[in-house]
Amino acid sequence: MRIENFTTLLALATAGQAAVVRERAAPACTKDAALELFELFDFVAKPFCSSYTKVPSPTVPAFAARWSKVPAKISSACTCLNGRKPTVVVTSASSIAPASTPVATSTPASSSALVSFALVSESPSAVVTATPTPTADACYVTAYSAILAATASCTAITLDGITVPGNSTLDLSKLKTGTKVVFKGKTFWEYFDANYPLIKVGGTNLEITAADGAVLDGNGQSWWDGLGSNGGIAKPNHFIELSKVLGSSSVHDIYIQNYPVHCFSISNSAGIDIYHITLNNSAGYTPNNRSNGLPASHNSDGFDLATTNDTKVRDSVVINQDDCVAVTSGNNVLVTNMYCNGSHGLSIGSIGGKGNNNVTNISFTNSVVLNAENGARIKTNENTTGFISDILFENIRVEKISIYGIDIQQDYLNGGPTGNPTNGVFIQNIVMRNITGTATDKGRDYYILCGSSSCRNITINDVDITGGGVPSLCNFQTRGNFDCDGKWNITTSEETV
């Protein structure tokens, strides 16, 4: 039996349990998925690791949530992060209480150099789980052809090692109320050049999750051409569509890699709790023979929410090439404890020109955005209409931002901003506070470009983004102690919306 820290030993001792302890040197550090993430988010991981063995029930950062019940994995990553070979502590005690469920981590305090990386997925074969006993309400599915019958008859469905044929959707859109679906092993999608969703989910009071070590592999490299949804070969635009998911539903503890274009599309839904998701599109950073020197993956949004209410996206990791999370319509959405790398940031928008263009009561909090084009962002489309109100960005750490650290712009076009903001989308009651970090020499720390009369009551306090080589620019006078690096060019006025 392995004991991972001195807190556990102390607990055993105070409980009167005899333990015979010995130490042995473990093998050299292995670059596995846990260590990759600990190194990527090292300015969060190092403070955590320094206290991991010193405090009872330590708070596990969201990026390590998938290993919260595997303390050996966390201990090894912490030890290796500090440049030492791990030491395994062995005891004769018969049982140890499992690790507690992770809680939100606090905003990191310090930064170190960041580097690009390739995340290594865990091998599904490394985890052995028992085969479920079939019952009247349980289905154990090992072939794609059996999924339709399972969804029609069962409320407990295990999908084990499914290979989905090309031009086929893994259809979970008509699940019975209260259904739980568990992905197991490796789920893989074969190639076909067409636009279709790879997974569809719909129903009430659902739970969609995965067994330890499971991987959903979208085979994106077969479609990637550097263009995403902007052209090139026909490709699946959404990896997973959650539509009309209602009641009290959850999607959690799922590892997804190599999705073709956008990953989660969440629409016409309410009451979903999405957490402990890892989206790993790091392989898409590398150009291929179709991408003309550009990253092969493009438009690889992590989570897109539209016409969705009362929903949480939390405690998750997104490694991609577009928005980490983007909300384009909906009400009462909380996005918190996100770890985003290589993205276009945490976004409201783009707003305008869609079926629903109203966004209200959205909060982005306690998150980290690394190596991204943008940090905290509100973007509205030129010459369109809409309404954005009651938006909070709070406790956001941004690092190595290449375009805008903080961005509010009303001239957005997919091909590039026009520089001519328009008034059709009203923006009001915006709060940004405690957003800190760095931009690159090609980026701006701050950029606010409002229409002449479409912004109102924007308050920005305690922000500190530095390093941008392009001067900041703000044409709207915000409230609070924000100074836009002194680069004001006021051309707008507050109007009652």
Q: How far is CA 406 from CA 64, 121, 193, 380, in A?
A: 27, 32, 38, 14
Peptide bond preceding 291: is omega within 30 degrees of 0, i.e. cis?
Answer: no
- Report the side by side order of strands in the sheet with 2-3: 2-3, 87-90, 22-25
Phi–psi pair at 71, nearest 5 degrees: -60, -25
Q: How far is CA 67 from CA 22, 99, 299, 367, in A?
A: 25, 9, 29, 19
**C-alpha closest to that of 281 among 224, 241, 336:** 224
Q: Is 248 helix (H, G, I), strand (E, B) or coil?
A: coil
**C-alpha closest to that of 77 among 21, 26, 149, 143:** 26
Q: How far apart are CA 19 and CA 173, in angstroms?
A: 52
Which of 238, 262, 276, 344 is labelled catalytic?
Answer: 344
Is residue 344 part of the annotated active site? The answer reads yes
Phi–psi pair at 9, nearest 5 degrees: -60, -45
What the block records as the tokens of 15 is 């409980």
**Strands 303-319 and 325-327, sheet pairing:** parallel
Cα diameter, the chain: 74
What the block records as the tokens of 456 is 């109102």
Beta bridge partners of 282: none
Would you please indicate which residues are annotated as catalytic (active-site) residues? 344
